[in-house]
Structure 1
Amino acid sequence: MSDRPVLLEVTDLSVGYRTEDGAVVTLVDRVGFTLHEREVLCLVGESGSGKSVTMLAVLGLLPDGLEILGGSVVYRGRDLLDLTPREWSALRGAELAMVFQDPMTALNPVKRVGSQIARAVTAHTPGLGRRAVASRVETLLADVGVPEPAERARSYPHEWSGGMRQRAVIAMAMANGPSVLVADEPTTALDVTIQAQIMRVLADARERTEAAMILITHDLGLVAETADRICIMYAGRVVETGSVWDIFEHPTHPYTAGLLASLLSSEHTGDRVYAIPGQPPSPASRGTGCPFASRCELPAKSELCLTTRPALAPSGSSQSSACHFADATADFAAEVTA
């Protein structure tokens, strides 16, 4: 466990929507985690596991139709779920910032890049003069590796490459030195070389501001290189948490073990790479038992898995696992990675 102060604490957060007949469908189910100062926490899981919806709820950015069903989101002792729109406007961008997955949708196509970054600056420091704002924009672009920042600031988003647009979005997110940066799949649409550059830009930006980061990703290679701790999500629930070292070396949930086994490594000696069978359940049909039960291949699996939801409980030196048979995962992990 980290000895640094806790910045953000999410407890029993649930998010869902209501159907036309009034039924509630839960997308995020009692999710909890903590983020410490200057820490990198990775939320990992398949598409649809609830990673992005969780962080949109944390940042007060849920789209129409989705609602918070319960829980708390405490930042520096203040429950964010109680904030008014005016209070959110003062906090978001200044203390909490987000880098979205697709920079082209995060940028306004009819406004110059520099003016959009300037807007992020003046939103929280309205007293700055015109020259000071322009200088700040140039500095931010230079900090994220944009060449000739004064000239490039006058360009429109479509005149920039995907990697350069993502640098601009990072510059906007870091404009006011936030304490918490949320990065939602920031390298998904980029080739491998540019991915590495963007992650370096994020690391440099965090180092300058001492920001903590929550990285949403399904790229376990990226997790291994970046994370301090990992939060594994499946079907809207947290199924395992722990340090990056402990989880990669000793997974204690069969879903985590399956994800790691699906990576092709130089140590792999089998004829094929392991693949988790089946598909995740739909939010409307997750049942009352373990949501992973229908896909689980643990030999120890029993009727208990189908009827009773396992609680997230300690399963190692730094880990917690939501599995009735966490102790049996080690043998399963060794078998599927052989």
Structure 2
Amino acid sequence: MTRDVLLRVDDLVVGTRDDQGREVRLVDGVSFEIAEGEVLCVVGESGSGKSITMAAVLGLLPAGVEVLSGRVEYRGEDLLSAGERRLRELRGRRLAMVFQDPMTALNPVKRVGAQIARAVRLHGDRLTRAEADRRAAELLAAVGVPDAAERARAYPHQWSGGMRQRAVIATAIAHDPDLLVADEPTTALDVTIQAQIMQLLAEARGRTSAAMALITHDLGLVAQTADRIVIMYSGRVVETGTVWELFDSPRHPYTAGLLASLLTAESSTGRAYAIPGSPPQPSARPAGCPFAPRCELPAKSARCLTEVPLLRSVAPDHDSACHHADTVSRFAEEVAG
């Protein structure tokens, strides 16, 4: 059954100014869709533009960074032309964010329960302070916090990193949002706690039928979680497709390199592949394909150095921005060992 589009991002450009006042594009022409109830994973190295993209969607760009062009639609409503009042109505109620670092998401001088209770009341629930406090404790219990009513009276520094992330998730799901945006939600957590947090997000989605945009560089999480994947590199989308398509038959050398960097039991060499070099700075992208200086694809040609490849269909529900996409699958097998 085809699901309705919940969020549509079309040709989004986000930029800033360098010290000389020149425009620098941090995100350059990004497009994707998220359907109702779908999990879309946005994947790429640090600096690829994935977090800035979702910050632009939610109207949370840092000072000095702005949307230069494009369109962002939530259920057909253009968010980029919506006023701040309308965005505040949507954020936290219909569109919710789980931030990367719960210590910066939580106010260190306010009790955890009071912060959740304030979020409950802020978005239109007509509750007394006591009712909001009880609702906060219920949300904390729902995300697995033991003795929730008692623990709600603690301050963030008195909680572990995993418990703080549970509090952030409790705040995000308070109003049964349509879309959860989770920005590296398991960073700095140990493997056991990572699994618990991802299970918690899955359970929250199961209760509310929310879609989720998961921003991550962890392909292990992607394999377990995603319906579809967007691969970003140097501020651009270089490949999109279902999790099965991209893991089984990558059609961009960057995706192939990311997959080969995962050391698996099937690897014949016992060593993980490492993509050579580093991503370019946004102010110093090469003239052609941004990945060309690092690309080891045997079919790489002079065209790669001079012409930016456009995102094009290479299979049903599978797009690639590579001039030589048809040769990538064989390359992926070779580098994977």
Pick the TM interval, shorter chain: over 0.9
Q: What RMSD over aligned residues (CA atoms) do the two structures have, in Å?
A: 1.0
Distance 1:323 1:303 in 2: 13
How far does the alpha carbon of each residue in 1:109-143 deviate from its partner, in whole angstroms, 9 at most, with x for none?
10000000001100112421233212211110111
Matched residue SS, 1:122: helix
Question: For 1:174-193, what aligned pairs fall within 5 Å after superposition?
Answer: 174-193=173-192
Deviation at 1:23, TM superposition (A): 1.1
Distance 2:221 2:313 in 1: 25
Deviation at 1:22, TM superposition (A): 2.7
Matched residue SS, 1:81: coil
How far does the alpha carbon of each residue in 1:187-215 deviate from its partner, in whole angstroms, 9 at most, with x for none?
01100000000011111111111110000
Give the structure 2 partner of residue 103 of structure 1: 102
Deviation at 1:277, TM superposition (A): 0.6
Matched residue SS, 1:155: coil
Give the structure 2 partner of residue 69 of structure 1: 68
Task: Return the letter of the residue paired with 2:235.
Answer: G
Give the structure 2 partner of residue 284 of structure 1: 283
Matched residue SS, 1:43: strand
Report percent identity of matched pairs. Answer: 66
Deviation at 1:318, TM superposition (A): 2.1
Task: Return the letter of the residue paired with 1:92.
Answer: R
Structure 2 spans left out of the alignment, 5+ residues:
none
Structure 1 spans left out of the alignment, 5+ residues:
none
TM-score, normalization by structure 2: 0.98
Give the structure 1 partner of residue 14 of structure 2: 15
Distance 2:129 2:14 in 1: 42
How far does the alpha carbon of each residue in 1:51-96 deviate from its partner, in whole angstroms, 9 at most, with x for none?
1000000100001010111100000010100011111111111110
Give the structure 2 partner of residue 302 of structure 1: 301
Task: Return the letter of the residue paired with 2:278.
Answer: Q
Task: Return the letter of the residue paired with 1:79.
Answer: D
Matched residue SS, 1:72: strand
Matched residue SS, 1:331: helix
Matched residue SS, 1:82: coil
Distance 1:286 1:63 in 2: 22
How far does the alpha carbon of each residue in 1:279-327 deviate from its partner, in whole angstroms, 9 at most, with x for none?
1111111133100000111111111111111110011232100000000
Task: Return the letter of the residue paired with 2:93.
Answer: A
Task: Return the letter of the residue paired with 1:187.
Answer: T
Matched residue SS, 2:12: strand
Tell me if 1:254 matches 2:262: no
Distance 1:125 1:27 in 2: 35
Give the structure 1 partner of residue 143 of structure 2: 144
Matched residue SS, 2:80: helix
The alignment covers a number of residue pairs equal to 337
Distance 2:21 2:144 in 1: 51
Give the structure 2 partner of residue 82 of structure 1: 81
Give the structure 1 partner of residue 41 of structure 2: 42
Give the structure 2 partner of residue 311 of structure 1: 310
Task: Return the letter of the residue paired with 1:53.
Answer: I
TM-score, normalization by structure 1: 0.98
Distance 2:34 2:122 in 1: 26
Give the structure 2 partner of residue 121 of structure 1: 120
Q: Which moved more, 1:269-278 or 1:254-263?
A: 269-278
Question: For 1:162-181, what aligned pairs fall within 5 Å after superposition?
Answer: 162-181=161-180
Whether the 8 Å CA contact 2:35–2:211 is kept in 1: the answer is yes
Distance 2:185 2:306 in 1: 38
Q: Which moved more, 1:14-23 or 1:316-325?
A: 14-23
Matched residue SS, 2:170: helix
Task: Return the letter of the residue paired with 1:144.
Answer: V
